[in-house]
């Protein structure tokens, strides 16, 4: 027998005979690979787009000059004398009401900049690149004003003529180009030349900001030179002060998605092992015959391993294709979610880098090689006397159960202990490895659990339930075949249950926090973008008007600055501290009554810090913290710690007077208004619009802000829930394949029952019992790592993984949905093979006998 004939016998003949089984294995592996590809493609494309959109604000060689009042253009000639400055880009912005085809499209920001410096402000590929100087000059014409708009606005209005309501007069705007990417001001923005902007708003000789780009590596020296020629009222902010915030966002998403990717690969590895293991067990008789005919054991080992490798490579290519299609179909929904949380993003096309394709094929092939060795060794050790009776394999497997159990206990114990140094060293990778080790330990613990479950069921099932007894006995004698698939399902159930409880707990905690913290009646905020460090400032005269209105009982005025503190991003917020407690209901770790709050706020150097900041730098109430300012550093005392569940976790709150002392910045970004009665909302709004007819600030009531906060919270769960559900489905498909093979392997037994008078109902009951018992075993196996994981997470790891404390909550809706999902799988996995078996008995049963 030559090698080609042996290959045909070992591999090709089996693939032809077991088409359905092979198809299920291929579909399961392809789904696993496609989940991996989808996560990688989505993550890479989103984070690449995110980094491109934040490219300007995070460059080290850029600074932004701003002030409370408009900046006089007379400072520009002084700046031009500094040789280290490469580009000076003046910038102004207003919110205006826009119309398209006489239909209002709401308030949009209109940005005035030097159009020739646009590529310095937004340094990514745009549709207007490559235009000649004459085309740029066309942006300088008076009417209609030529403009560049963002793609988000272009989707809404196309290239139609826009009208802007400015000072009670409609001004025509003609769209000349569209920016391919979103901007730091949002995804719906109009950009015009600064000259036209000044003509539109009659604001001559002043701008809101100056953006400078340097041509030197000594940025500190250049900034010092800039500061020396500027009036004291102007503030200089370096572009890269916000880079840590952007990195924190991307790293958090990357870590979480990488963990889900590893779980998808773990499940895929178990599926590949299950497929090859089934292949070896099904062909044990054929292997014995081949050995008798002269085949060598090493040939069986090589060809079995080759089958695993071919299966992996084939499924890798299909998984790449399916993953790309899933990403292409869903990327815009994911982008929508990400945009609502952080910065408006846009992706023109989904690209599959060659490196990713090679990575997928290599990783899946290595997995197939590693997990395929064990069943291949069984093929290698096959002896002719063991091929006649399957019981020999079961006896060998039963003898190994104590070793599997010991290995499971060691894995779970070591993984749990591994979390301790991980927490102390703040290494999230070790946390993920430890949690994965706990899940993997479950797989090795399952054979013992299944054995005890079958013994227990055999004792409690009444003798008259013949179908249930037969199902128990059949699972017992085929445990070697089904235990791997049940282990995969146990891991998936554990992941599903843990994620469900964490999401329920986070939703409950954050909803309570939103209801407490968002207690103001009116919110006036200059930020149109969700990117939290961008925005304008409320005019001083408007602040005075708000504070002195008779309808307003209390006002909290907020401003902020992002700084780098011990190589971490820190957000410093200035606010009216006496409003905390009665009005601004900030949840404190150490609760205080009104008298205690007044006592600590009487000292202007008392501050509040977020729980995440306290945990990260090991701060406690009463400690001091040294905060750098424009005139040196100040020693501040931590008066209390507050819970915070917003995106930005490292927060320090101080009084507005202390903020002014540190940064010489009296500007206000947000105003939280507490009315004497809710019915005064509309009268106050009318009076504000009457006093400021060109009001261009977003004003929201409490309900709108709370709904927005809750919606943002819900958006964060969508991606994780979708990935977990995909892993659940592909594992359920694998278990269905195993159940179908187990049930169809009883065709001779079922035919005998049919011939002695069994009916369709008996056949269905037998199949349903088998499906029910296997799913019960999977659920019980999944409970062990779920309990351990949730105990560790809620007892020790909530601060580490999420930066906040989370209240443990399980909603009855989640429990009901889980049981409905599980019940549906039990019924489907029992009924479908039963109907197939019924067809087999009716059509081929007598012939088979």
pLDDT (tens digit, 9 = 90+) per residue, 749-760?
A: 666 666 666 666
Quick one: angle between helices 466-477 and 428-460, nearest 10? 130
Residue 665 has pLDDT above 60, yes or no: yes
pLDDT at 606: 92
Residue 445 has pLDDT above 70, yes or no: yes
Quick one: what percent of the chain has pLDDT higher than 90? 2
Query: In whole numbers, what is the pLDDT of the chain averaged over residues?
Result: 74
| Token pair of 444 as six digits | 């090795």
For 161, which DSSP code?
P
Span 799-821, pLDDT tens digits: 555 555 677 888 888 888 888 88
For 183, which DSSP code?
B
pLDDT at 640: 92
pLDDT at 716: 64
By DSSP bridging, strand 145-150 and strand 169-179 are parallel
pLDDT at 802: 55
For residue 654, name the pLDDT band (cuts at 50, 70, 90): very high
pLDDT at 330: 67
Largest Cα–Cα distance of the chain, in whole Å?
Answer: 104
| Rounded distance between C-alpha atoms, residue 558 and residue 237, angstroms | 18
292-296, 364-368, 632-636: least confidently modelled range: 292-296
3-state secondary structure of 3: helix
**Do residues 442 and 488 make contact, with C-beta atoms less than 8 angstroms apart?**
no
38-52, 429-443, 805-819: least confidently modelled range: 38-52
| Mean pLDDT to the nearest integer, 358-370 | 81
pLDDT at 685: 86
By DSSP bridging, strand 606-610 and strand 206-214 are unpaired
By DSSP bridging, strand 206-214 and strand 85-100 are antiparallel
For 116, which DSSP code?
G
Q: How far apart are the first and last CA of the chain?
A: 34
pLDDT at 101: 78
Residue 637 has pLDDT above 90, yes or no: yes
Query: What residues contact 808, with CB distance under 8 A and at least 6 apart?
Result: 501, 505, 790, 794
**Do residues 436 and 263 make contact, with C-beta atoms less than 8 angstroms apart?**
yes
Span 496-507, pLDDT tens digits: 888 788 888 877
- How buried is residue 820: exposed, middle or buried, by Cβ count under 10 Å (0-12/13-18/19+)? exposed
pLDDT at 141: 62
| Mean pLDDT to the nearest integer, 417-440 | 70
Span 99-156, pLDDT tens digits: 887 787 777 778 888 877 776 666 544 444 444 445 555 666 666 788 888 777 887 7
Residue 608 has pLDDT above 90, yes or no: yes
Span 219-262, pLDDT tens digits: 778 888 888 888 776 767 665 444 555 555 556 566 666 666 77
Reduced 3-state DSSP string for 378-405 = HHHCCCHHHCCCCHHHHHHHHHHHHHHH
| Token pair of 616 as six digits | 């990260």
In this structure, how many other beta carbons lie within 10 angstroms of the beta carbon of residue 839? 11
Q: What angle do CA 398, 402, 405 make, to 5 degrees?
A: 115
| Rounded distance between C-alpha atoms, residue 730 and residue 489, angstroms | 9
For residue 186, name the pLDDT band (cuts at 50, 70, 90): low
Residue 849 has pLDDT above 50, yes or no: no
For 8, which DSSP code?
I
| Rounded distance between C-alpha atoms, residue 449 and residue 405, angstroms | 9
Span 54-64, pLDDT tens digits: 544 444 556 66
In this structure, how many other beta carbons lie within 10 angstroms of the beta carbon of residue 516? 13
Q: Which of 162-166, 445-449, 652-656, 775-779 has the highest mean pLDDT?
A: 652-656
pLDDT at 660: 85
Span 284-331, pLDDT tens digits: 666 666 667 666 777 777 777 777 777 778 888 888 888 788 777 766
Span 465-496, pLDDT tens digits: 878 888 888 788 777 777 777 877 787 788 78
pLDDT at 532: 36
| Mean pLDDT to the nearest integer, 826-833 | 81
| Token pair of 544 as six digits | 């005075």
Pure H helices in 548-610: 594-601
């Amino acid at each position: 027998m030559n090698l080609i004939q042996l290959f045909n016998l070992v591999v090709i003949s089996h693939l032809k005979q077991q088409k359905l089984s092979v198809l299920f294995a291929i579909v399961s592996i392809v789904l696993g690979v496609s989940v991996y590809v989808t996560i990688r493609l989505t993550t890479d494309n989103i984070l690449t787009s995110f980094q491109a959109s934040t490219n300007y604000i995070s460059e080290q060689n850029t600074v932004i000059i701003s002030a409370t009042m408009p900046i006089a253009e007379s400072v520009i000639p002084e700046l031009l004398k500094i040789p280290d400055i490469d580009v000076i880009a003046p910038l102004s912005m207003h919110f205006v009401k826009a119309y398209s085809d006489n239909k209002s499209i709401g308030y949009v920001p209109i940005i005035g900049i030097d159009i020739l410096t646009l590529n310095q402000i937004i340094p990514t590929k745009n549709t207007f690149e490559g235009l000649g100087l004459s085309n740029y000059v066309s942006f300088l014409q008076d009417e209609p004003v030529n403009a560049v708009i963002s793609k988000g606005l272009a989707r809404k209005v196309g290239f139609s003529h826009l009208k802007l309501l400015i000072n009670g007069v409609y001004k025509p705007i003609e769209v000349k180009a569209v920016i391919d990417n979103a901007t730091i001001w949002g995804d719906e923005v109009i950009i015009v030349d600064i000259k036209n902007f000044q003509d539109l708003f009659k604001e001559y000789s002043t701008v809101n900001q100056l953006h400078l780009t340097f041509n030197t590596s000594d940025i500190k020296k250049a900034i010092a030179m800039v500061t020396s020629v500027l009036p004291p009222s102007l503030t200089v902010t370096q572009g890269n002060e916000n880079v840590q915030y952007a990195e924190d966002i991307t790293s958090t998403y990357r870590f979480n998605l990488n963990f889900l990717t590893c779980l998808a690969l773990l499940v895929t590895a178990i599926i590949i092992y299950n497929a090859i293991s089934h292949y070896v067990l099904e062909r044990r008789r054929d292997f014995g015959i081949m050995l008798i005919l002269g085949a060598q054991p090493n040939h069986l080992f090589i060809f079995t391993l080759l089958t695993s490798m071919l299966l992996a490579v084939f499924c890798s290519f299909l998984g790449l294709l399916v993953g790309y299609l899933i990403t292409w179909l869903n990327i815009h929904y994911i982008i929508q979610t990400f945009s609502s949380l952080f910065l408006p993003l846009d992706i023109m096309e989904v690209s599959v880098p060659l490196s990713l394709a090679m990575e997928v094929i290599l990783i899946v092939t290595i997995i197939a090689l590693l997990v395929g060795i064990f069943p291949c060794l069984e093929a290698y050790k096959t002896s002719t006397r063991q091929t006649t009776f399957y019981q020999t394999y079961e006896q060998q497997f039963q003898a190994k159960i104590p070793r599997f159990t010991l290995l499971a206990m060691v894995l779970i114990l070591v993984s749990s202990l591994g979390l301790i140094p991980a927490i102390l060293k703040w290494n999230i990778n070790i946390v993920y490895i430890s949690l994965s080790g706990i899940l993997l330990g479950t797989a090795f613990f399952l054979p013992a659990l299944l054995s005890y479950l079958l013994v227990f069921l055999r004792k409690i099932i009444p003798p008259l339930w013949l179908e249930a007894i037969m199902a128990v006995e059949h699972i017992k004698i085929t445990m070697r075949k089904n235990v791997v698939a049940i282990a995969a399902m146990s891991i998936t159930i554990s992941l599903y249950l843990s994620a469900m409880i964490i999401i329920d707990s986070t939703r409950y905690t954050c909803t309570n926090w939103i209801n407490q913290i968002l207690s103001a009646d009116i919110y006036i905020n200059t930020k149109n973008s969700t990117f939290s460090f961008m925005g304008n400032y409320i005019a001083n005269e408007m602040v005075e008007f708000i504070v002195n209105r008779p309808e307003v009982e209390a006002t909290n005025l907020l401003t902020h600055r992002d700084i780098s503190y011990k190589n971490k991003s820190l957000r410093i917020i200035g606010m009216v501290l006496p409003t905390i407690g009665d009005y601004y209901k900030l949840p404190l770790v150490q609760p205080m009554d009104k008298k205690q709050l007044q006592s600590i706020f009487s000292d202007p150097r008392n501050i509040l810090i977020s729980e995440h900041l306290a945990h990260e730098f090991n701060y406690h109430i009463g400690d001091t913290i040294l905060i750098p300012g424009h005139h040196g550093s100040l020693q501040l005392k931590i008066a209390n710690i507050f819970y915070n569940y917003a995106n930005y976790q490292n927060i320090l709150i101080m009084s507005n007077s202390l903020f002014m002392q540190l940064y010489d910045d009296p500007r206000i970004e947000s105003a939280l208004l507490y009315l004497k009665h809710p019915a005064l909302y509309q009268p106050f709004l009318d009076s504000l619009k009457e006093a400021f007819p060109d009001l261009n600030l977003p004003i929201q009531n409490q309900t709108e802000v709370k709904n927005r906060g809750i919606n943002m919270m819900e958006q964060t769960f969508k991606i994780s829930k979708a990935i977990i559900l995909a892993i659940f489905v592909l594992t359920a498909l694998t278990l269905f394949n195993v159940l179908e093979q187990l049930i169809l392997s009883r065709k001779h037994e079922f035919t005998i029952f049919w011939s002695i008078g069994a009916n369709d109902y008996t056949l269905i009951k037998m199949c349903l019992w088998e499906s029910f018992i296997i799913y019960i075993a999977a659920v019980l196996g999944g409970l062990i790592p779920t309990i351990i994981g949730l105990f560790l997470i809620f007892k020790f790891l909530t601060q580490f993984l999420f930066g906040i404390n989370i209240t443990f909550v399980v909603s009855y809706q989640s429990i009901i949905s889980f049981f409905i999902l599980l019940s549906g799988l039990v019924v489907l996995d029992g009924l479908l093979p039963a109907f197939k078996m019924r067809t087999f008995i009716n059509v081929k049963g007598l012939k088979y006998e």
